[in-house]
Amino acid sequence: MLDLAKKISVHCNVTFVVSLSILDKIKDMGLISNEDNSNRLEFIGLLDNNSDENKILDSKFTSKLDYDIDQMCEPFTQLFSTISSIPSPSSPLLFTRPVNRPVHMVISDIFNPLPIRIAHQRLIHTQVFMPCNFENLSRYIKISTGELVVPMSQQFVQNFLEAFTFADGIICNSIAQLEEHALDRYRQQLVIRSNLLVRFVGPLFSEKDEIQKDDTMVSVKEWLDMQWEKTKEFSSVIYVAFGSIVNLTGEQIVEISRSIASYPSIWSLKNDYHKYLPSSNNEMHLVLDWVPQRLILSHPAVKLFISHGGWNSVLESMSAGKPMLILPMFGDQFLNGHRIEHEFGTGRVIRNTKSNGHQRLIT
């Protein structure tokens, strides 16, 4: 959503609303530059008590998402009420600043119906944003009608249906040429709203992204340059990252590190999990809490990307021309892995993975 907001702000005034904890985190990560803080793009944090520390080990992801959305309800409703009126001095403000400009369109994540519902009631144009590939829309429709049964919370399905029902259009973070068959199948489904206008806007990242030269970016590039020189300009580095939400188990980290020990590797891994690796940073292996993924994938020294198969990672890897080895964890990652291997031909999926309560096994 942040990348989309940045793109739109080139032409329009944009107010980006998110949980305050998430807003603070993306600022700390350097994802908001001084240029982004111009008058066209404003940021508002919701005081909703949602944490930026998500630990998802199994299929309970949808329950966590349901909880986060419920927490956002009161702050967002209060925020939206300030668009046409002055906040009541008797009530504590649940946001960092009011909306200071007229609102002509609301774009919300497809699994968060609240902004769509409120905007629809006020006759404001609405668009739902799909951060995943479009093939998922047909699956979610089948789930909502009972045609497809998966371990997913009922509230999650209801949220999707509500947002989908009230939206005036769909914005999808994908590429039209990749989704032609999925779009045809969606049009052929005899369901309400199957005639909605769909706009494909992916990949959302631009050449201006990650130009900020902080210490981490400089050290990562120097390390990659060193690997490139050592191998006489031969791609050899394996990049391992599983996103900001999913957490591997210690056993998985040990197993993966053993499998690639003979190759130079760079890991994006939270500090709490560094202890499972046989050694810390050295000439062969670089382990960091956060890494500039697009910079890494675009470097010629990188040979392979081992990932959970999140859609953003898929698009970034394909754009950089890097093959993927995918260990799917939950949600759309299984579908993404299938498409990567059987449709796009740009990677492989690690098979025979399953969730067993809080323990995920590699066999």
pLDDT block averages, 10 residues each, the chain of length 363: 92 94 86 72 90 53 70 89 71 89 93 90 94 84 64 70 87 94 82 82 70 76 94 93 81 91 93 81 84 95 96 95 93 91 95 53 44
**What's the rounded Cα separation, in Å, for the pair 52 and 270?**
13
Confidence (pLDDT) at 139: 76
Rounded Cα distance between 193 and 270, Å, is: 41
Q: Transcribe 324-359 into DSSP letters.
A: EEE---STTHHHHHHIIIIII-SEEE--SEEEETTE
295 and 226 co-located in one domain: yes
What pLDDT was estimated at residue 86? 64
Both ends of the chain: CA-CA distance in Å?
A: 36
Residue 324: what pLDDT? 98
Quote the domain boundaries for residue 179.
2-200
Asked if 268 and 312 sit in the same domain, the reply is yes
Last residue of a domain, one of 200, 223, 258: 200
Domain end marker among 145, 168, 200: 200
Asked whether residue 191 falls in the same domain as residue 224, the answer is no
Claim: this prediction has a pTM higher than 0.75: yes
CA distance linking residue 339 with residue 345, whole number of Å: 8
Number of domains in the chain: 2
Does the residue 210 lie in any domain? no
CA-to-CA distance for 15 and 105, rounded, in angstroms?
Answer: 11
Cβ neighbourhood burial of 232 (10 Å; 0-12, 13-18, 19+)? exposed
Specify the pLDDT at position 178. 93
User: Which H or E run contains 16?
Assistant: strand 14-19
Whether residues 56 and 166 share a domain: the answer is: yes
Last residue of a domain, one of 147, 168, 200: 200
Radius of gyration, CA atoms only, the chain:
21
- The Cα-based distances of 324 to 257, 321, 331, 339 in angstroms read 16, 10, 18, 12
Q: Is 208 within the bounds of a domain?
A: no
209 within a domain of the structure (yes/no): no
pLDDT of 341: 96
86 falls within a domain: yes
Tell me what pLDDT residue 107 has.
Answer: 97
Considering the domain architecture, whether residues 39 and 131 belong to the same structural domain is answered as yes
At 58 the pLDDT is 47
Distance (Å, whole) CA 193 – CA 191: 6
Q: For residue 205, is it within any domain?
A: no
| Domain CATH code at residue 16 | 3.40.50.2000
